[in-house]
Amino acid sequence: MTTLAIRRPRTVLIAWALLFLVGALLALRLDGVLSGGGFTNPRAEALLAQETVEETFDEAPNQLVVVLDADVPLTPSDVERAIDLATDAGAETITTAFDQPGLVSEDGRTMAIIAGFTEGSTAVQNIVPRLQAALDDAGIPGEAFVTGQPALDYQLNDHSKADALRAEIIVFPVLIVVLLFVFGSIMATFLPLLVAGSALMISLGFGTLATGVTEISNLYSNIVSMIGLAVAVDYSLFIIKRFREELAAGRSTPEAITVTMATAGHSVLFSGIAVALALSALFVPQVMALTSIALGGVVVSLVALGVTMFVLPAGLALLGTRIDAGRIPFGRRRRPAGTGQHVVRSRIRRPGLVGAAGVAALALAAIPVLGLSLQSPVASATVLPADDPARQGLELLERNVGQEGLFPVDVIVTFPEGTQPVDALEATATASAWIADLSGADTVLDAASLAPLGGSAAIALEAGETPPPLQRLWHADDAGITVRLLATTAEGPDSVSAHALVSDIRTGLVDRLPDGADVAVTGATAQGLDFDETIIQSIPLIAAIVLTLTFLMLAFAWRSVILPALALVFNLLVVGASLGVLTLLQGWMSDDPLNSVTPVLLFAVMFGLSMDYMVIIMSRMRELYRAGMPFEQSVLQGAARTRTMINSAALIMIAVFLSFTTAQISIVREIGIGLAIAVALDAVVIRMLVMPSILRALGPRSFGRRTEPSAPSTAADTGIPAPVPALT
């Protein structure tokens, strides 16, 4: 492909322009096909039990909650207007305070109306803005808010799009300033931005196509922006800088491109593959949120790699020495050829001690991870900004009515065929009393409390009839009797005690029921717990995949065992230290635990991205060593020659990640902060201090046996003439 880029650059650029245009057209449709949510495991007990609830008790699969709040008690006509609007929006079932008295505040000024929909989750999410607008225009006294899980998911999706756009608006001016300083020319600055922009657009367009095959979360667009901007600009920086060095060494444009792609291009290739491999491990849990992140990260990494490896050389072939067009007075000046022949000396006299100290410092920074608490907030709106209508509605209910009734712990007990109604009622009463006594439980609603033995309702149940008030709690057919127990939580559905309550019910209730009875627990709390456990249980396999694939790839690239082993150790130290610092920051800023997605995402993303620096620096060191330079000088010279480039690349990545700390979605902020910390530690502590010190302490055996140079080096690097490969 390098040869094609050199010989037919216009053909390559035209093909790229067409691909960019198609990607842009498809990207315009992406927002309308992405889904909110994704923080559930469809194979776990809670989701399977939810299907039982929907089928057995004829409950609508998706429910929106209209919250009315006024300065005076709400009238029946106010409620009727809201009901009519929900019905017009497609609601199949309506539940109000007339059906459940617990849905209204004591003063009658705050009320919840539960609207059930039979459509899929994405379709119901798209109803939210229309229903909210209709309520705003309805003239109902006070305020009206649409909340509930589909509304929370819709708002999460909407804010995610705004977060990605805001981050891009913030970071592009920063990138321009950094690149102008690094390159000192407008043309060289423009190319990485063009590469990054096209990589983002093509990747977003691919996302639109992918939604035709599978459901994709709104986090796809966030990760495409976050990872795409970082890697595309960095890869372009590495290629352009090396190309300019080769031009300065006296090579022609075709020769400079060939040498660049054989050296820096080779390093970028393995860097991009490392990022894609690390992110691909996030497919393991098979949950939509992580699958979407994995897909977005892998796609944008490979697209950025493809544009950098195939399109950028074509642009360089057309520009040639005009890469320096638009010189500015304050940028860094390119050193003339030959200035890199001086001997670099290190001020570090005891490299082994310095390296060990750096390793110890990072290990100490990782200690807070031992007290890490993880939880995904699937039953709360704390991930949304304070002025979001879905969050405002939910918080109004929590303050004035109590939202636990909207997110109960839903216990499904199935009695075997032949169980008599009276026996099922007695067992239900026993189960209800046991659950109510558990820590974390508040109240329990069940059929036994509404149909006491000997009463008319119990008599109806014994006769095979189910009174309307019991139809959502009792179902009997030839296969047996199924009952629901709805337990509200003492400290909220996303509290630690609520999660413990679900676990206690799952492990202990079946022993207090007749033989053959089966217990399943669902509801938002149970779904969140299952999601957290799915992620935590997947961590060992994700780590094993990332470590194994990274090691094998680097061993193949470097023909060494020591260097890949060092790379894994360094990366684990960085991930551990950054997660430790993030844990401390989270404890200072909030009482909420870290999102369960954050650590595993930080591990996979950072493990891939940190390979950029490892591969670039180590490849330059090995290149010099294999060209004949003494080992210690090759280490010092390689570090010195890449320092400015690595620091600039790290600054770019940090700027990209910090731009996402302005996000209104808490998980996006967590990821942005964590990755910014990790990149800073990686570039400053590992690559510029610990790695050179450890390599010097290990000696030449870390690079393996010296052979003939596998790729040409620049005269500016070594002063040793290097053969130019044939342009084939």
Give the pLDDT band of residue 345 (cuts 50, 70, 90): low
Mean pLDDT of 504-530: 93
pLDDT at 342: 56
Q: Given a cut of 50, is residue 180 above it in pLDDT?
A: yes
Q: Given a cut of 90, is residue 36 above it in pLDDT?
A: no
DSSP string, 201-253: HHHHHHHHHHTTTS--BTHHHHHHHHHHHHHHHHHHHHHHHHHHHHHHTT--H
pLDDT at 199: 96
Higher pLDDT, 714 or 615: 615
Which amino acid, residue 688?
M
Query: At a CB cut-off of 8 Å and minimum separation 6, what does 700 contact?
Result: 625, 631, 706
Q: What angle do CA 179, 184, 185 make, to 5 degrees?
A: 90
pLDDT at 723: 36
Higher pLDDT, 646 or 257: 257
pLDDT at 402: 73
Lowest mean pLDDT: which of 13-17, 80-84, 395-399, 512-516? Answer: 395-399
Query: At a CB cut-off of 8 Å and minimum separation 6, what does 266 contact?
Result: 619, 711
Lowest mean pLDDT: which of 107-121, 128-142, 520-534, 653-667? Answer: 653-667
Higher pLDDT, 1 or 546: 546
pLDDT at 5: 84
272-295 CB burial, b ≥16 within 10 A, e <16: bbbbbbbbbbbbbbebbbbbbbbb
pLDDT at 714: 44
Give the pLDDT band of residue 339 (cuts 50, 70, 90): very low
pLDDT at 728: 28
pLDDT at 343: 64
Domain borders along the chain are 2-34+156-379+539-718, 60-153, 408-522
pLDDT at 248: 92
Lowest mean pLDDT: which of 188-197, 282-291, 599-608? Answer: 599-608
HEC letters along 7-68: HCHHHHHHHHHHHHHHHHHHHCCHHHCCECCCCCCCCCHHHHHHHHHHHHCCCCCEEEEEEE
Higher pLDDT, 138 or 168: 138
Q: Given a cut of 80, is residue 724 above it in pLDDT?
A: no
Higher pLDDT, 222 or 721: 222
21-32 CB burial, b ≥16 within 10 A, e <16: eebbebbeebee
How far from the centroid of its chain's Cα atoms is residue 672's Cα? Answer: 10
**pTM of the complete model:** 0.82
Provide the 8-state DSSP code for 36.
S
Q: Given a cut of 80, is residue 100 above it in pLDDT?
A: no
| 332 backbone dihedrals φ, ψ, rounded to 5° | -75, 140
**The two domains 60-153 and 408-522 share their CATH topology (first three levels equal):** yes
Is residue 203 a contact partner of residue 300, using CB atoms and an 8 Å limit? yes
Q: Given a cut of 70, is residue 687 above it in pLDDT?
A: yes
% of residues, the chain, pLDDT over 90: 40
Q: Given a cut of 90, is residue 246 above it in pLDDT?
A: yes
Lowest mean pLDDT: which of 102-111, 454-463, 574-583, 689-698? Answer: 454-463
Fold topology of 60-153: Alpha-Beta Plaits (3.30.70)
Q: Given a cut of 90, is residue 182 above it in pLDDT?
A: no
pLDDT at 427: 94
Q: Supply 587's token pair.
A: 């404890």
* Segment 208-231, tens digit of pLDDT: 999 999 989 888 988 999 899 889
* CATH code at 408-522: 3.30.70.1320
pLDDT at 716: 39
DSSP H helical segments within 281-383, as ranges? 288-306, 312-319, 351-365
Give the pLDDT band of residue 601 (cuts 50, 70, 90): confident
For strands 441-445 and 93-95, give the pairing.
unpaired
